[in-house]
Structure 1
């Protein structure tokens, strides 16, 4: 039995203290599972504006906006969208939209210097549908950047996972997993240049690392 992506993020996302936004901002911008590990917001190459796909409760978008980068965060989950609006309504230059990222990208006329996803929509959406929509909304020279878990060796493409592990109520959702080399091919196929894809080792090499991908489109 499958569930919708919205239901998944409504139900299974970890709880947090909505009354501690300053503490979350103090953690900075992290692409990995660990605070202060790996690149920071500089990985986006100093954009003048940005769009986050699958922003969750909005901490990364709020951090960018607090640094003077007008940012829009899009999420399909009403629960997460509500959290984001409540927690960050005091941050100027920040807006949150409740929508499927594909619908949002297809329906907006706005363009962006950077589009990014942190363990979110780029992992849970078919890249054949999402990547061309992202490219169409990037300004010349714009950057797409995202992070997610590395693929398990030999298991690539669309894969289902049980949302509750192997206990509890049934429910499944789909993620898309590829090697760094596969991501290079996918993004180049849609007209991206300077594609950099690699797995960043965890602080403890025995732990799961982070797949980091960044690419740009031509400047003219």
Structure 2
């Protein structure tokens, strides 16, 4: 746990803050992919007004802040303490938005039936063993709840589905759309979609976006 926290603290220290406005001039927006001004928006979730939303690996809070401006009741969880400091400094003025420092599975285990939407954008859904994470997410969601996450698509590897070592303290699950669909179905999720969003022109790597309901 301490090693993982330290690894994510190092990662946070090297990140460039999100710019104040996007290409459309908006001050808040949701970005599922690794590219600026690209990919689907919050419509992938559905209406969030009045819904309780949890983001796992919320970082500096920029994606979650956008959902708060749309009327959601939002909680962001990140294992790196400095991320909470940065998120509160930038978005602490927004109502119905709070940030916690916690490990994702610990937080999920302590909040059954508490959220209508769970998000993970290049976050713990990519870095936590699915056999542990998925049942906890399902238990945390209310009936009809939505789980949406994104990460880079899997690379060619001699052992597909095996965790890849990252930063000495973090494992990454590079799973295919088919693998995620099977795992989510086994965990009790329904209406599952998993597809790779094409990259913008001039880029080679797309983004895997997965959506499921309970």
Q: If the length of structure 1 is used for normalisation, what is the TM-score?
A: 0.86
The residue that corresponds to 2:7 in the other structure is 8
2:183 counterpart of 1:179:
no
The Cα shift of 1:27 comes to 5.4
Q: Distance in 1 between matches of 2:89 and 2:16?
A: 13
The Cα shift of 1:108 comes to 2.1
The Cα shift of 1:110 comes to 5.3
The residue that corresponds to 2:146 in the other structure is 143
Contact 2:112 2:139 in 1 (8 A): no
2:47 counterpart of 1:42:
no
Cα 1:84–1:142 change in 2 (3 A) is same
The Cα shift of 1:71 comes to 0.7
Contact 2:113 2:139 in 1 (8 A): no
The Cα shift of 1:172 comes to 4.7
2:97 counterpart of 1:98:
no
Q: Distance in 1 between matches of 2:95 and 2:30?
A: 18
Per-residue CA deviation, residues 32-91 of structure 1 (Å, 9 max, x unaligned), is 011221110111111322100010111111111112111100011011111112211101
- Number of equivalenced pairs: 206
The residue that corresponds to 1:28 in the other structure is 29
Q: Distance in 2 between matches of 1:44 and 1:74?
A: 19
The Cα shift of 1:201 comes to 1.1
**Which range moves more in the overlay, 80-89 or 95-104?**
80-89
Q: Distance in 2 between matches of 1:16 and 1:177?
A: 25
Contact 1:27 1:36 in 2 (8 A): no
The Cα shift of 1:109 comes to 4.6
Gaps of 5+ in 2: none
2:211 counterpart of 1:214:
yes
Gaps of 5+ in 1: 164-170
The residue that corresponds to 1:195 in the other structure is 192
